[in-house]
Amino acid sequence: MPITPSTAETVVSQILSEDVLTLADARAELRHITGKRPDKATMTRWIHRGVGGVRLEAVRIGGSHLLTSRQALTRFIAARTAKTIGPQPIRRTAKK
């Protein structure tokens, strides 16, 4: 999906109205969950390229400061989990 000024504005408004985190703070949050802190390059890749079609929402402040939010991390993790799990197969019982 191409990013348009209106969708960018929506993302900025949403992120800034949530619990804003720097990338260092976001990495620390993930360490509490996973036991490991993702590398800064990994977080940047999640923002710019995404993983499996899912991107971590973030906003750029100034020239190089990227901010995300706790809620954006939750949405990213939930979307990745949904893609990993995929739709549950329908179980069919054998006809007797």
Q: Decide if 42 is inside a domain.
A: yes
Q: How far apart are CA 29 and CA 3, in angstroms?
A: 27
Q: Decide if 21 is inside a domain.
A: yes
Q: Decide if 80 is inside a domain.
A: yes
Q: Decide if 19 is inside a domain.
A: yes
Number of structural domains found in the chain: 1
- 74-94 residue pLDDT tens: 999 999 988 777 666 666 776
Range of the domain at 37: 5-84
How far apart, in Å, are the Cα atoms of 3 and each of 30, 85, 86?
27, 27, 26
Q: Decide if 93 is inside a domain.
A: no
Q: Decide if 91 is inside a domain.
A: no
Q: Decide if 89 is inside a domain.
A: no
- Supply φ then ψ for residue 95, to 5 degrees: -80, 140
Q: Decide if 49 is inside a domain.
A: yes
Q: How far apart are CA 69 and CA 55, in angstroms?
A: 13
- 57-72 residue pLDDT tens: 999 988 889 999 999 9
Highest mean pLDDT among 5-9, 33-37, 73-77, 78-82: 73-77
Does the structure show a pLDDT above 90 at 38? Answer: yes
